[in-house]
């Protein structure tokens, strides 16, 4: 299990294996993270546990059933959930305190990237989701 926490430490999580890690450059991820891109990965819901601070989580529901969960004290994004797929959550990897063995597979929504961002990695780059996205 990997360990993670928000910036202020009010929320602690444990997560299992992380899959389909991507760097998302869409404008929504840029705005919600305040950075050039957000690095997200999927975790099976049964391998995600809020160890401390569940009462400190809040969420923003941009579309019905799609929630972005964050710490209501420090504002750190923690994960996203989708009522259409309750079997997994999308974790913001920036909250992890543990080193992980999994690695990103691609840059997504690169045509929406910030004009000041340069992509100088050897990962595949796509205009939208990676081709095998479910």
Instruction: For 2-39, write each residue's pLDDT tens digit.
Output: 999 999 999 999 999 999 999 999 999 999 899 999 99
pLDDT band (50, 70, 90) for residue 119: confident
Residue 28 placed within a domain: yes
pLDDT band (50, 70, 90) for residue 132: confident
Residue 119 placed within a domain: no
Residue 70 placed within a domain: yes
Domain CATH code at residue 31: 2.170.150.70
How many domains are contained in the chain? Answer: 1
pLDDT band (50, 70, 90) for residue 123: confident
DSSP state of 83: T
Residue 42 placed within a domain: yes
Q: Count CB neighbours of 104 within 10 A.
A: 17
What pLDDT is stored for residue 134 in this prediction?
A: 65
Single pTM value for the model: 0.87
Whether 18 contacts 4, CB under 8 Å: no
Half-sphere exposure of 117 (CA within 13 A, CB side): 19
What pLDDT is stored for residue 43 in this prediction?
A: 98
Whether 23 contacts 39, CB under 8 Å: yes
Residue 131 placed within a domain: no
Cα distances (angstroms) measured from residue 76 to each of 116, 122, 127: 23, 29, 27
Residue 18 placed within a domain: yes
> What would the mean pLDDT of 87-105 be, rounded to a whole number?
97
> Which domain range does residue 43 map to?
2-112
Paired strand residues for 88: 44
């Amino acid at each position: 299990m990997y360990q993670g926490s928000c910036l202020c430490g009010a929320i602690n999580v444990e997560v299992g294996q992380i899959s389909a890690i991507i760097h998302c450059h869409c404008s929504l991820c840029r705005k919600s993270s305040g950075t050039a891109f957000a690095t997200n990965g999927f975790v099976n819901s049964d391998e995600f546990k809020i160890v401390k601070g569940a009462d400190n989580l809040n969420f923003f529901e941009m579309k019905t059933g799609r929630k972005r969960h964050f710490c209501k004290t420090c504002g750190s994004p923690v994960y996203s959930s989708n009522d259409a797929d309750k079997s997994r959550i999308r974790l913001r990897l920036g909250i992890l305190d543990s080193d992980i063995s999994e690695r990103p597979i691609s840059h997504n929504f690169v045509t929406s990237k910030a004009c000041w961002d340069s992509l100088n990695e050897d990962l595949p780059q796509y205009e939208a989701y990676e081709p095998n996205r479910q």
